[in-house]
C-alpha cells in the first residue's frame, strides 16, 4: 500500500473509532471494556485469516524506523506498554496491530486478583485513565507456561513486579518474589523490565530507595540471562532520587530505563476533570511532561550509555517525536490507543517517518537527543 492509501485507511478508521466505537466503549465500565478488548484480541490472534485482515487494516512498515538495539531487532519504535496485556494473551495479534514490540505483565511471583473494584476510571477531559488495578495477573508460573512454546513476531518484554500482598512487604520477601518471576521468565521473550514503580501495591514503591534497589539488583545479577534488563521508573521521582538510582545502576546489569509509569500527583500538568478518584495512578496526558522531563534528565546525564523507552501521554506522532528528540530510542503507550483507536500506532509510525525526513535524519538514532 502506498503512503496516500495508508493515510486514507487510517483516517477512515479514526473516523469510525471516534464516532462509533469510542462513544459505545466510553459509556461502559472501563474494566469491562478492557476485558472485552482482550477477548476480541485473543480471538483475532487465533486464526491466520483474522491476523491477516488485522495487518491489512493497521500495519505500517518503513526501513527508517528499524533499529537494532541491545542485540534485538525492532521493526519500529512503538511498543505496547505493560498493563494492557497483563496475562500475555495478545502476543499473536499485537504485531498485526502494528506494534514494533510489546511488553506483557506486570507479572508477579504469586497469582494476584488485584485491588477491589472499581479500579479503572476515565478522565475524558484530561485524556487520562486512573488505574488502581494493583498488579492483577495470573502469576509467573501460569503466564510462563502460556508463553514457553510460543514464537513471537516482534520483540517481547516481560515486566515483573512484586506480588501485591502484605506478605511481600518485608524487603527480603519482596526480593524473593521478584526472583521467582525472574527465574520463571528467564529464557522467555527478549527483554526484562523490573517494575519498581507500581503506585497501587501494598508497601508502596520500596525499591526506589537506593539501598533496597541495590539489594534487589544484586540478587538479579546472580541469575544468568541473555535478556537485557530495563528499570521502570516512577515519573514522580525528583532529580536527586533519579541520580541516586542511576548511581546504583552503574554497578549492576541494567541496560535501560522506561520513563515512566503512572503518576500519583493530583497536581500533575493537564488535569482538567473536576472529579479525580483519590485512589490510583494517572496515565495519559498528565504523565506526558513528567515523562519527557525524566527522559531528558537521564539522557543528558548518561548520553548513549542506556536505552531509554519513552512512555507517557503519547497521542500523536508529534508526541512520539518529542520523546525521541529528548533522548528516547523506543516508545510505549496504552492510553493514546484507548482514546484515539488502534490505527494510532501506524499513524505515529507514518508521522515519524515524515518528521525524520523533514529534519534530514536517516534513522531514529540520528534524531535521538537532538532537541535544543
Ligand atoms: C490499565 C493500565 C494498567 C497498567 N498496568 C501496569 C502494570 O501492570 N505495570 C506497569 O509497569 N505499568 C502499568 N501501567 C502503566 C503503563 O505501562 C504506562 O507506564 C502509563 O500508562 C503511561 O503510558 P500511557 O500514557 O501511554 O498510558 C498501566 C497503565 C494502564 C493504563
pLDDT average, residue stretch 184-198? 94
Q: Which domain holds residue 315?
A: 3-367
- 324-349 pLDDT tens trace: 999 999 999 999 999 999 999 999 99
Per the domain annotation, does 233 fall within a domain? Answer: yes
All cell numbers assigned to 148: 514457553
Q: How many independent structural domains does the chain possess?
A: 1
Residue 372 lies in a domain: no
pTM given for the model: 0.97
The answer to whether 69 touches 190, Cβ cutoff 8 Å, is: no
% the chain with pLDDT above 90: 91
The answer to whether residue 361 sits within a structural domain is yes
CATH code assigned at 70: 3.20.20.70
Query: What is the Å distance from ligand 1's center to 221 Cα?
Result: 26
Q: Is residue 36 part of a domain?
A: yes
Say whether pLDDT at 167 is over 90.
no
Q: Is residue 145 part of a domain?
A: yes
- Nearest-angstrom CA–CA distance, 55 and 97: 6
pLDDT in tens, 225-239: 999 999 999 999 999
Cα distances from 38 to residues 90, 205, 211, 244, 259, in angstroms, run: 7, 28, 38, 38, 25
Cβ of 194 closer than 6 Å to ligand 1, yes or no, is no
CA of residue 361 to ligand 1 center, whole Å: 30
| Residues constituting the chain | 372
Is 34 inside a domain boundary? yes
136 C-alpha to ligand 1 centroid (Å): 12
Task: Locate the ligand 1 atom nearest the alpha carbon of residue 34 and give its number.
Answer: 1
Residues 6+ apart with CB under 8 A from 82: 103, 104, 105, 106, 157, 159, 193, 195, 232, 332
pLDDT for residue 3: 85
What's the Cα-to-Cα distance from 217 to each of 95, 186, 189, 320, rounded to whole Å? 31, 15, 20, 30
Is the pLDDT at 46 greater than 80? The verdict is yes
Do the domain assignments include residue 54?
A: yes
CA dist 282 → 25, 202, 253, 269 (Å):
19, 18, 30, 11
Amino acid at each position: 500500500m502506498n503512503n496516500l492509501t495508508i493515510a486514507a485507511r487510517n483516517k477512515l478508521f479514526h473516523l469510525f473509532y471516534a464516532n462509533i466505537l469510542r462513544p459505545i466503549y466510553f459509556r461502559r465500565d472501563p474494566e469491562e471494556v478492557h476485558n472485552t478488548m482482550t477477548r476480541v484480541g485473543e480471538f483475532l490472534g487465533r486464526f491466520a485469516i483474522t491476523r491477516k485482515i488485522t495487518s491489512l487494516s493497521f500495519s505500517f512498515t518503513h526501513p527508517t524506523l528499524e533499529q537494532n538495539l541491545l542485540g534485538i531487532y525492532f521493526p519500529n519504535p512503538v511498543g505496547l506498554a505493560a498493563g494492557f496485556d497483563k496475562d500475555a494473551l495478545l502476543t499473536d495479534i499485537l504485531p498485526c496491530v502494528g506494534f514494533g514490540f510489546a511488553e506483557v505483565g506486570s507479572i508477579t511471583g504469586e497469582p494476584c486478583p488485584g485491588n477491589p473494584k472499581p479500579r479503572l476510571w476515565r478522565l475524558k477531559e484530561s485524556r487520562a485513565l486512573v488505574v488502581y488495578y494493583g498488579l492483577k495477573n495470573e502469576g509467573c508460573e501460569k503466564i510462563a507456561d502460556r508463553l514457553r512454546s510460543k514464537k513471537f513476531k516482534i520483540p517481547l518484554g516481560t515486566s515483573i513486579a512484586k506480588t501485591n500482598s502484605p506478605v511481600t512487604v518485608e524487603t527480603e520477601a519482596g526480593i524473593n518474589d521478584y526472583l521467582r518471576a525472574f527465574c520463571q521468565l528467564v529464557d522467555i521473550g527478549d527483554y526484562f523490565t523490573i517494575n519498581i514503580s507500581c503506585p497501587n501495591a501494598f508497601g508502596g514503591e520500596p525499591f526506589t530507595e537506593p539501598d533496597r534497589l541495590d539489594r534487589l539488583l544484586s540478587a538479579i545479577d546472580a541469575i544468568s540471562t541473555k535478556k537485557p534488563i530495563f528499570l521502570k521508573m516512577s515519573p514522580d521521582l525528583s532529580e536527586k532520587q533519579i541520580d541516586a538510582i542511576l548511581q546504583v545502576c552503574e554497578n549492576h546489569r541494567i541496560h535501560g530505563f522506561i520513563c515512566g509509569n503512572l503518576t500519583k500527583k493530583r497536581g500533575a500538568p493537564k488535569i482538567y476533570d473536576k472529579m479525580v478518584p483519590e485512589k490510583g495512578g494517572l496515565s495519559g496526558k498528565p504523565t506526558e511532561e513528567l515523562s519527557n522531563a525524566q527522559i531528558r534528565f537521564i539522557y543528558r546525564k548518561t548520553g548513549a550509555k542506556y536505552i531509554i523507552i519513552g512512555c507517557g501521554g503519547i497521542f500523536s506522532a508529534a508526541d512520539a517525536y518529542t520523546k525521541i528528540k529528548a533522548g528516547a530510542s523506543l516508545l510505549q503507550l496504552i492510553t493514546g490507543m484507548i482514546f484515539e483507536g488502534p490505527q494510532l500506532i501506524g499513524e505515529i509510525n507514518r508521522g515519524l517517518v515524515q518528521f525524520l525526513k523533514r529534519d534530514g535524519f536517516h534513522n531514529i538514532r540520528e534524531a535521538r537527543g537532538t532537541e535544543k
